[in-house]
Amino acid sequence: MEQYVIKGGNPLYGEVEIGGAKNAALAILAAAIMTDETVTIDNLPNVRDINVLLQAIEEIGAHVERVDIHKVKINGSFIRGVNVDNEFIRRIRASYYLIGALLGKYKHAEVALPGGCDIGSRPIDLHMKGFRSMGADIDIAHGLVIARAKELKGTHIYMDKVSVGATINIMMAAAMADGKTVIENAAKEPHVVDVANFLNSMGANIRGAGTDVIRIVGVEKLHATEYSVIPDQIEAGTFMFAVAATGGNVLVKDVIPKHLEATTAKLLEVGCQVEEFDDSVRVISDVHLKHTQVTTLPYPGFPTDMQPQMAVLLGIAEGTSTVTESIFENRFKYVDELTRMGADIKVESNIAIISGVKRYTGARVNAPDLRAGAALVIAGLAADGITVVDDIYYIQRGYEALEEKLTKIGAKIARVEDEKELQKFILKVS
């Protein structure tokens, strides 16, 4: 079983390059099968979720050519079935995007119910409500979502709550429905905009992405395109918080600073310096951090995917801070692990009350999910001594070459496969 082993206490200096947005790329890959022409997608992150989805697309007959680790060509004209189900696709949340893509193109989809990280209830009722509004019959049987429609009709859909996944899924199906669809109370996240831009580059007619009202006029068919995925704001934020927790001066490159405004605002509040450039941000930290309050909200609010990283930062800030989680009810599973490292955190309902300590101490911890795992890596970088992070499978679902990128900016971290490699690393850094 692979682990990260970390010797903490090293300030980070230099430059780090951010890859493509996992959450955007997953939806874009699903949408790519909606045309029978060849689609080229660049700036893909080379992470497990992406590779699992590409495998699933290939298994239903689409032609998938990996040009390189970050670029792929997909041709959906060879698809021979609409049943998407294997042990791997059941583990990722983004499997549900294939429902909207297949339903839009073929008016029929059978896709395994989604998995992903256990961070709380994430029902797909809003997805199904949207598909039904357009005329689809939806059933759940044998662990599959089965969607069928004689035809999809454009309609008016009001989202009972803001949902990124449902907004994207309905948008994909509506792109090839008959008539006009209006999605109200739509999610505004950058990857919603990126998927809309991708679909438009294939000939879709989507307007308003990035606002709370999206208008879609269905088209009969989509065509070939070449497209580059936007930078990953969560990967960027994770590195920014790593610098804040450990000290130093790092230029985070290949980002869209506008997408990082909520993260940047909190870094400024806790006492870091942040300089913005056209496609990069510089974070400077002397590790004298101040307390603050954070509430997760849909974009442009503070992202729930940055909440664990924020809590780690506040755990070594002066004074008492609060983190309120308003999106997922089970996102504090990392608190017990962080307590092993000396954190003083009490969770009451959806609020974490954090009393800052002077430092973390190295310990053996488990990554309970993707973002919590990244947060524990940050804690290890800031801790005294050696930290071992188990279950890094979760982290590898969303971060490409995390240990390599951190090493380049001064971290002492390695990925090891057994106790012998672990002890070798400890001896090397001692």
Catalytic center residues: 117
Classified as helix, coil or strand, 243 is: helix
Neighbours of 115 (CB within 10 A): 15
Q: Which residues contact 302 (CB under 8 A, 6 or more apart)?
A: 262, 263, 266, 294, 295, 296, 310
Task: State how far the alpha carbon of 149 is from the alpha carbons of 156, 203, 409, 426, in Å.
Answer: 17, 23, 53, 59
CA–CA dist 43, 22 (Å, integer): 10
CA 394 to chain CA mean position, Å = 12
CA–CA dist 33, 140 (Å, integer): 23
- Helices vs strands, H then E, count in the chain: 14, 24
**Half-sphere exposure of residue 5: CA atoms within 13 angstroms, side-chain side:** 20
Task: Order the strands of the 344-348 sheet from edge to edge.
Answer: 293-295, 320-324, 351-355, 344-348
Task: State how far the alpha carbon of 336 is from the alpha carbons of 125, 295, 329, 367, in Å.
Answer: 32, 21, 16, 11
**Half-sphere exposure of residue 422: CA atoms within 13 angstroms, side-chain side:** 15
At 389, list the tokens: 């992070």
